[in-house]
Amino acid sequence: MTERTVTVTNQAGIHTRPASIIVRTASNFEAEIIIQRGAYEINGKSVIGVMTLAAEQGSELVLRADGPDENEALAALADLFARGFGENDPDEPSVNQAS
Protein backbone atom coordinates (compact mmCIF):
# COMPACT_ATOMS: atom_id res chain seq x y z
CA MET A 1 0.00 0.00 0.00
CA THR A 2 1.21 3.46 -0.94
CA GLU A 3 -0.11 6.81 0.20
CA ARG A 4 0.33 10.45 -0.70
CA THR A 5 -1.06 13.68 0.77
CA VAL A 6 -2.52 16.20 -1.67
CA THR A 7 -4.08 19.64 -1.30
CA VAL A 8 -7.19 20.83 -3.12
CA THR A 9 -5.93 23.87 -5.05
CA ASN A 10 -8.83 24.80 -7.31
CA GLN A 11 -11.02 27.62 -6.03
CA ALA A 12 -14.33 25.71 -6.17
CA GLY A 13 -12.98 22.63 -4.38
CA ILE A 14 -14.17 19.12 -5.19
CA HIS A 15 -17.50 19.67 -6.91
CA THR A 16 -19.15 17.47 -9.54
CA ARG A 17 -16.63 17.97 -12.35
CA PRO A 18 -13.46 17.27 -10.33
CA ALA A 19 -15.18 14.36 -8.57
CA SER A 20 -16.00 12.74 -11.90
CA ILE A 21 -12.43 13.31 -13.14
CA ILE A 22 -11.04 11.68 -9.98
CA VAL A 23 -13.32 8.65 -10.35
CA ARG A 24 -12.63 8.31 -14.08
CA THR A 25 -8.89 8.43 -13.45
CA ALA A 26 -9.00 6.05 -10.47
CA SER A 27 -11.11 3.59 -12.46
CA ASN A 28 -8.33 3.27 -15.04
CA PHE A 29 -6.25 1.41 -12.46
CA GLU A 30 -6.58 -2.02 -10.91
CA ALA A 31 -5.47 -0.76 -7.49
CA GLU A 32 -8.02 -0.07 -4.78
CA ILE A 33 -8.13 3.69 -4.19
CA ILE A 34 -9.08 5.21 -0.84
CA ILE A 35 -9.35 8.94 -0.24
CA GLN A 36 -9.30 10.19 3.34
CA ARG A 37 -10.26 13.55 4.79
CA GLY A 38 -9.73 13.59 8.52
CA ALA A 39 -11.26 10.42 9.94
CA TYR A 40 -13.55 9.97 6.91
CA GLU A 41 -12.49 7.46 4.21
CA ILE A 42 -14.21 6.83 0.89
CA ASN A 43 -13.77 4.63 -2.18
CA GLY A 44 -11.98 6.77 -4.78
CA LYS A 45 -13.86 4.99 -7.56
CA SER A 46 -17.26 6.18 -6.28
CA VAL A 47 -18.44 9.60 -7.45
CA ILE A 48 -20.94 9.79 -4.58
CA GLY A 49 -18.15 8.97 -2.12
CA VAL A 50 -15.85 11.61 -3.55
CA MET A 51 -18.63 14.21 -3.47
CA THR A 52 -19.34 13.47 0.21
CA LEU A 53 -15.81 14.59 1.12
CA ALA A 54 -17.00 18.19 0.68
CA ALA A 55 -13.36 19.16 0.18
CA GLU A 56 -12.99 22.89 -0.33
CA GLN A 57 -9.93 24.77 -1.54
CA GLY A 58 -7.04 24.22 0.86
CA SER A 59 -8.29 20.87 2.16
CA GLU A 60 -5.63 18.21 2.63
CA LEU A 61 -6.57 14.70 1.56
CA VAL A 62 -4.68 11.44 1.89
CA LEU A 63 -4.73 9.24 -1.21
CA ARG A 64 -4.09 5.54 -0.61
CA ALA A 65 -3.68 2.89 -3.25
CA ASP A 66 -3.23 -0.83 -2.90
CA GLY A 67 -2.62 -3.02 -5.92
CA PRO A 68 -0.21 -3.83 -8.72
CA ASP A 69 -0.37 -0.34 -10.26
CA GLU A 70 -0.65 1.65 -7.01
CA ASN A 71 2.31 3.95 -7.73
CA GLU A 72 1.02 4.86 -11.17
CA ALA A 73 -2.49 5.44 -9.80
CA LEU A 74 -1.27 7.80 -7.08
CA ALA A 75 0.96 9.66 -9.52
CA ALA A 76 -1.96 10.22 -11.90
CA LEU A 77 -4.31 11.34 -9.12
CA ALA A 78 -1.73 13.60 -7.47
CA ASP A 79 -1.15 15.25 -10.85
CA LEU A 80 -4.87 16.07 -11.12
CA PHE A 81 -4.79 17.78 -7.74
CA ALA A 82 -1.56 19.63 -8.57
CA ARG A 83 -3.12 20.97 -11.78
CA GLY A 84 -6.33 22.00 -10.00
CA PHE A 85 -8.32 19.76 -12.35
CA GLY A 86 -7.64 22.25 -15.12
CA GLU A 87 -9.53 24.99 -13.28
CA ASN A 88 -6.48 26.97 -12.11
CA ASP A 89 -4.75 27.50 -15.46
CA PRO A 90 -6.68 29.70 -17.91
CA ASP A 91 -4.47 28.43 -20.75
CA GLU A 92 -5.36 24.77 -20.13
CA PRO A 93 -8.19 23.66 -22.43
CA SER A 94 -11.47 22.74 -20.81
CA VAL A 95 -12.61 19.11 -20.87
CA ASN A 96 -15.59 20.29 -22.95
CA GLN A 97 -13.50 22.00 -25.62
CA ALA A 98 -12.80 20.12 -28.82
CA SER A 99 -9.14 19.59 -29.71
Which of 15, 17, 37, 83 is catalytic? The answer is: 15
Residue 99: count other Cβ atoms within 10 Å of its Cβ: 3
Is 15 an annotated catalytic residue?
A: yes
Rg of the chain over CA atoms, in angstroms? Answer: 13
Cα distance between residue 43 and residue 26, in whole Å:
10
Instruction: Quote the DSSP letter at residue 8.
Output: -
Q: Give catalytic residues, as residue numbers.
A: 15
